[in-house]
Structures are given as structure tokens and as C-alpha cells.
């Protein structure tokens, strides 16, 4: 293994983060280079783990812990493979020596277009009599209309120890969008979840030589906020000072409800978000909130305009794809083979300003220019980031930033600890939604089969005083709902002192973005 002790373990809490993760790891596998003449610039051992599967064959699986409700696995089996045929009843009877066996079968979800083609391909390969025709997969499968679960998007096999599900016994009767972080705490503490989680995480850690850090993707508005906070505690406890990048993701709540229910949900969402931000900015090294909405908390349902992308923000499948592309770009620096010395903490160093861990992530994806004949400052001036952080436009005062540019030779730019350039394009996996306009596709675009799309991209993590707009809004909204008084209306879970404490800590975060604090 050549990971050189730079492993990154990814943790995903909730449906949306798992969608993002599915796209993210798809992008990774799309980037694999099987041609020794063109080695990939990205060191895949950072995110992937080499091993042997149960059947003895070679396996290469993400260093990942995915947490979700057991019932939302959909087509993904706990063995980490999609669409597994269950063993026959007689075989099971034989193994367990049970005489009377009653079969309770849940219907198998229908295969989507992509998986149908994969199946056709593999059956064609197995059949020796078939004509020597390579069955090529299409370049793009847009699953927007059919997709139900993140597992359908996933083109990678997972390791069985990556799948850490909340068992049904803990989740029955749970209304996730309205749940509070206290519920998450309770689930975390329950041994039927916790033992599994610790075992699996330990398994992933044991396989790492020197972990450089963690990506923690979590839904921040519901019970997963509580779970991820507990998880951060655990990571700090077990892994000391490793870098942690926390990405709180805001859910898309589409369903129309009546006024009172919306208000109730909003209250618990705000409180959960408050807890998530206050704890994660205390425990992690960087916190980069992701959302495709440009405004949150009942202020509007406008989606961020990414200029070069045509996407439908209300679709979880498409929004998560944008976020995954962004995560791919911002996580590039510490995965480059060219820069073996760069680690997550170098990026943290670049961005660190006292007390400020909340950073905004922005992208220009796909990057519109084919050629760059200007310098870096001009580049940043011409191509303004499109922000993934609600309320924060990332336009004017970016105090410090770490920039990643993919698809251009690094020799063109002066080396700088805050600028990371890689000549590799971002390859777009097949199940990525069809949101990238044709003109940005850098691969041979005449082909519909076989080849993958390729695009270039620019991203930045920015520590900016503009983040104040986001934190101020949160403080304002929390004040508006009058945290102390209203809590029993939302849930009896919270106690006044902790709410007050949370409020204070969010206010403190907000204050650290004052202009005066920068000097």
C-alpha cells in the first residue's frame, strides 16, 4: 500500500449525506486510471482500502462508515453489494437445521436502468457462447425520475463493515424530519447501535497506518445532529488531534404540511442546527455547511444558481451531486500524489483564524474556460465562487482561502501553500445526474457509450467575515423562537440550561466573525 499514512475516513450520518457520499465515491471510482501510462494524480489509497472479500477476491472499498435507518438501505445488502439474490430456503434450512421455516419476503425494489445494464454486461461476459461484443455502459444515466435511495446511485461496492444502520427496533415510529438531537443521543447510546458503530469504526481505523483525518458529513437539522456530535466526542477521545472536517448538510423538506406543523419542525430544526454548530465548531477543525438553498429557515426556497450547471435544487439526487463535486474539489489538496507532504492539517493551517472554524465552500463547477492565460488573482476575479453556504455569497472579503483548481497544469501557477492545482479533470460517473451542459464536457463528446464525461473545476474554502451573515441569521432565528420558552412546544427533550448554553456559544461564534475581531 502506498497510502503513506494519509488515510481519510469518511463518516456519513443520514440520508442526504449518504447521497452526497454515494456521488463522492462514484467520482472517485470514475477517476481510477487503469492505464499505466496515465497514472491518476490523486492517491486513491487515501480514501480506499485494499482488502480481500469473503469470496477471496481482491476488493477495494471506501474507508467509510455510513449511518442511516435500516429500512432506507433499499437495494443495498448488508454485504455491501447492490441487488443480492438471497439464498434459497432449502439452503438456509440446511445450514440452520431448522425444520419449520416461514418466509417473510419484502419485495425487491426494481432495478434502475443503470443496474439493468450492469447486469446485462456481466451476464454477457460470463456467457462464453456470446458473440465477442463488448456491452458498453452508457455515458450517463440520469436517474432523477426513478431514484428512491442513495444506494441506487452507488456504483461502488462497500465493505460490509461500512454499513452501520440504525436498527428498526430503535427507529420505529420515528419521524426523522421532526426528530431532535436528543433522540440521536439516545440512539447513539443504545448498545445495539453503539457496539456496531465502534466495532466498524475501529475496523476502518485499524486498517490505516496513520489517519490524517476525517470527513464527517451529517444532516444537521434532525436527530443526526445529536449523533454526529457524539461521534465527534468519540473521535476526539480515540484519535486525539487528527483533523476533522465537519460538513453539516441542510435537508430539503419538500412535503407540504400545515402551518403549525411547519413551525414546529422549524423550531426543532433550528435548535438542532444550533447544537450541531456549537459542538462541531468546538470539536472539529473546520466546519463547512453545505446547502443548495440560498436561504434557509422559512425565508425562501430559492436555490443557489451555479451558472454553469443546470440543476433542479429540490431534487435530493441532483443537489447532492453538486455537493459531492464540491467535496471532491475541496478535498483534492491532501490527496494529490504530487504533494505527499500536504495533509488535512495544512489546509486547516491556511484557513485558521483564531476562533473561526466555520468556513464557506464555493465552487465554479464546471470551470467554463478551456484555457487560462492569466494569473491566479485574475482567475479569482473573473470567476467568482458560487457559494454552497446559505446566506453567504462569498463575493467580496475573503479573509483567507484555500483554492483548488482541477484540469490545468500546475506549472502555470506559482506554488503557494493555499493554491492546489492538479492537471486531472474531474471525471463524471455514469450515475451522476445530467446537469452538466454539453459544452463543458472535455471528453470526446460524440460518444454516448463507454467513455466518461470529464470537466474541470475550481473550488475554494474561505474563511470570511461574510460568514457572519449565516451565523447572525441563526442567532436571530433562534432568538425569534425564544428558545427558552418554546422548547416544550417542540419537545420535552431539552432542558433550559443547555439551550441557553447552546445559544451563548452560537452567539460567540457569530461574534468571532466581527470585523473588529479580525484585526
Using rule CB under 8 A, residue 253 touches other proteins = no
Helix (H, G, I), strand (E, B) or coil at 384: coil
Of 34, 35, 36, 102, the one binding other proteins (CB under 8 A) is: 102
The 3-class secondary structure across 289-314, one letter per residue, is: CECCECCCCCCCCCECCCCCCCCCCC
Residues in the chain, total: 519
DSSP strands (E only) in 176-289:
211-219, 243-249, 286-287
**Contact (Cβ atoms closer than 8 angstroms) between residue 188 and residue 230:** yes
Q: Residues 89, 314, 444, 492: which binds other proteins (CB under 8 A)?
A: 89
Phi-psi region of 142 (alpha: psi -120 to 50; beta: other; left: phi over 0): beta
C-alpha 52/C-alpha 30 separation (Å) is: 21
Shortest approach of other proteins to residue 151 CB, angstroms?
7
| Binds other proteins (CB under 8 A): choice among 205, 252, 376, 511 | 205
Binding status of residue 238 toward other proteins by CB under 8 A: yes
100 binds other proteins per the rule CB under 8 A: yes
Of the listed pieces 17-25, 161-169, 454-462, 468-476, which binds other proteins according to CB under 8 A? 161-169
Is the CB of residue 219 less than 8 Å from the CB of residue 225? yes
Number of residues counted as binding other proteins (CB under 8 A): 68
The torsion angles phi and psi of 48, rounded to 5 degrees, stand at -120, 155
Cis status of the peptide bond prior to 366, with omega within 30 of 0: yes
Rounded distance between C-alpha atoms, residue 106 and residue 322, angstroms: 33
Q: Taking contact as CB under 8 A, which single stretch among the options 24-32, 198-206, 299-307, 478-486 is the one that binds other proteins?
A: 198-206
| Subset of 53-82 contacting other proteins (CB under 8 A) | 53-54, 56, 59, 71, 73-79, 82
* Cβ proximity to other proteins, 345 vs 412, nearer residue: 345
155 exposure class (CB count in 10 Å sphere: 0-12, 13-18, 19+)? buried
Find the shortest distance in angstroms from Cβ 263 to other proteins.
8
Residue of 133, 260, 377, 519 that binds other proteins (CB under 8 A): 260
Q: Taking the CA of residue 390 as centre, how many other CA atoms within 13 Å lie in the half-sphere pointing to its CB?
A: 24
Of 126 and 206, the one with the shorter C-beta distance to other proteins is: 206
**Going edge to edge, which strands form the sheet with 7-13?**
163-166, 64-69, 7-13, 211-219, 243-249, 286-287
- The whole-angstrom separation of Cα 196 and Cα 69 is 14
Q: How many Å apart are CA 3 and CA 334, to the nearest integer?
A: 11
Nearer Cβ to other proteins (91/501) = 91
Residue 446 CB, shortest distance to other proteins, in Å, is: 37
Choose the binding region for other proteins from 16-24, 206-214, 289-297, 353-361 (rule: CB under 8 A): 206-214
Question: Which residue's entry shows cell 476502518?
Answer: 204
Helix (H, G, I), strand (E, B) or coil at 69: strand
Q: Which is nearer to other proteins, 137 or 353 (CB)?
A: 353
CB of 327 to other proteins, least distance (A): 22
- Give Cα 187 to chain centroid, integer Å: 22
Residues between 337 and 376 that touch other proteins (CB under 8 A): 343, 345, 349, 352
The region of 240-248, 360-368, 373-381, 427-435 touching other proteins under the rule CB under 8 A is 240-248
* Residue closer to other proteins, measured from CB, 54 or 126: 54
Dmax (CA) for the chain in angstroms is: 77
CB of 437 to other proteins, least distance (A): 35
- Which of 2, 122, 125, 169: binder of other proteins (CB under 8 A)? 169
Residue 230 binding other proteins, by CB under 8 A: no
Q: Give how far the C-alpha of residue 486 lies from the chain's centroid of Cα atoms, to the nearest Å.
A: 32
Task: Pick the piece of the chain touching other proteins (CB under 8 A) from 97-105, 268-276, 297-305, 476-484.
Answer: 97-105
Q: Is 175 a binder of other proteins (CB under 8 A)?
A: no
Nearer to other proteins, 203 or 518 (CB): 203
Task: Candidates 35, 36, 90, 106: give the one binding other proteins (CB under 8 A).
Answer: 106
**Cβ burial 70-79 (10 Å sphere, 16+ → b, else e):** eebbebbbee
Q: Identify residues 276-335 at the interface with other proteins (CB under 8 A).
A: none
Q: How far is the CB of 80 from other proteins (least distance, A)?
A: 10
What is the sign of the dihedral through the CA atoms of 236, 238, 240 and 245?
Answer: negative
Q: Report the C-alpha gap between 443 and 429 in whole angstroms.
A: 13
- Name which of 73 and 147 has its Cβ closer to other proteins: 73
Pick the closer one to other proteins by CB: 357 or 427.
357
Residues numbered 447 to 506 that lie near other proteins (CB under 8 A) are none
What's the min distance (Å) between Cβ of 136 and other proteins? 27
| Helix pair angle (259-283, 223-239), 10° resolution | 10
- Closest separation between CB of residue 221 and other proteins, Å? 22
Residue ranges binding other proteins (CB under 8 A): 5, 51-54, 56, 59, 71, 73-79, 82-87, 89, 92, 95-109, 151, 167-169, 172-173, 198-199, 202-203, 205-206, 208-211, 238-243, 258-261, 343, 345, 349, 352
Amino acid at each position: 500500500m502506498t497510502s503513506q499514512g494519509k488515510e481519510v475516513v469518511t463518516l456519513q450520518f443520514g440520508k442526504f449525506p449518504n447521497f452526497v457520499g454515494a456521488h463522492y465515491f462514484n467520482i472517485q471510482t470514475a477517476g481510477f486510471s487503469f492505464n499505466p501510462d496515465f497514472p491518476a494524480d490523486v492517491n486513491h489509497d487515501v480514501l480506499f482500502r485494499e482488502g480481500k472479500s469473503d469470496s477471496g477476491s481482491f476488493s477495494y472499498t471506501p474507508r467509510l462508515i455510513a449511518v442511516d435507518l435500516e429500512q432506507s438501505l433499499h437495494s443495498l445488502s448488508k454485504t455491501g453489494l447492490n441487488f443480492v439474490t438471497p439464498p434459497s430456503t432449502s439452503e438456509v434450512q440446511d445450514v440452520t437445521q431448522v425444520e419449520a421455516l416461514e418466509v417473510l419476503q419484502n419485495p425487491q425494489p426494481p432495478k434502475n436502468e443503470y443496474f439493468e445494464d450492469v447486469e446485462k454486461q456481466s451476464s454477457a461476459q460470463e456467457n462464453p457462447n456470446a458473440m465477442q461484443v463488448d456491452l458498453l455502459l452508457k455515458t450517463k444515466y440520469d436517474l432523477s425520475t426513478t431514484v428512491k435511495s442513495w444506494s441506487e446511485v452507488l456504483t461502488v461496492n462497500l465493505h460490509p463493515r461500512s454499513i452501520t444502520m440504525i436498527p428498526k427496533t430503535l427507529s420505529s415510529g420515528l419521524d426523522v424530519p421532526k426528530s431532535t438531537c436528543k433522540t440521536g443521543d439516545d440512539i447513539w447510546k443504545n448498545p445495539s447501535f453503539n457496539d456496531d458503530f465502534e466495532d466498524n469504526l475501529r475496523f476502518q481505523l485499524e486498517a490505516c497506518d496513520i489517519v490524517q483525518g476525517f470527513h464527517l458529513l451529517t444532516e444537521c437539522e434532525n436527530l443526526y445532529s445529536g449523533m454526529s456530535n457524539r461521534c465527534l466526542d468519540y473521535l476526539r477521545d480515540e484519535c486525539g488531534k487528527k483533523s476533522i472536517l465537519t460538513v453539516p448538510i441542510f435537508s430539503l423538506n419538500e412535503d407540504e404540511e400545515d402551518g403549525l406543523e411547519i413551525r414546529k419542525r422549524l423550531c426543532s430544526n433550528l435548535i438542532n442546527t444550533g447544537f450541531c454548530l456549537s459542538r462541531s465548531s468546538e470539536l472539529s477543525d473546520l466546519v463547512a455547511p453545505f446547502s443548495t438553498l440560498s436561504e434557509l429557515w422559512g425565508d425562501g426556497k430559492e436555490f443557489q444558481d451555479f451558472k454553469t450547471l443546470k440543476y433542479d435544487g429540490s431534487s435530493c439526487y441532483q443537489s447532492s451531486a453538486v455537493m459531492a463535486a464540491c467535496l471532491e474539489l475541496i478535498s483534492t489538496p491532501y490527496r494529490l500524489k504530487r504533494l505527499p507532504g500536504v495533509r488535512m492539517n495544512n489546509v486547516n493551517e491556511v484557513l485558521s483564524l483564531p476562533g473561526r472554524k466555520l468556513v464557506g465552500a464555493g465552487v465554479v463547477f464546471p470551470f467554463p474556460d478551456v484555457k487560462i492565460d492569466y494569473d491566479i488573482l485574475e482567475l479569482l476575479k473573473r470567476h467568482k465562487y458560487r457559494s454552497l453556504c446559505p446566506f453567504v455569497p462569498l463575493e467580496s472579503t475573503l479573509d483567507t482561502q484555500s483554492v483548488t483548481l482541477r484540469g490545468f497544469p500546475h506549472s502555470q501557477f506559482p506554488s503557494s501553500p493555499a493554491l492546489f492545482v492538479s492537471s486531472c479533470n474531474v471525471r463524471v460517473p455514469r450515475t451522476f445526474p445530467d446537469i452538466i451542459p454539453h459544452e463543458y464536457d472535455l471528453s470526446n463528446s460524440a460518444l454516448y457509450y463507454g467513455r466518461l464525461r470529464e470537466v474541470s473545476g475550481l473550488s475554494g474554502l474561505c474563511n470570511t467575515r461574510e460568514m457572519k451573515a449565516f451565523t447572525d441569521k441563526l442567532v436571530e432565528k433562534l432568538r425569534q423562537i425564544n428558545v427558552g420558552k418554546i422548547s416544550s412546544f417542540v419537545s420535552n427533550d431539552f432542558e433550559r440550561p443547555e439551550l441557553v448554553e447552546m445559544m451563548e456559544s452560537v452567539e460567540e461564534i457569530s461574534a468571532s466573525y466581527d470585523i473588529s475581531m479580525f484585526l
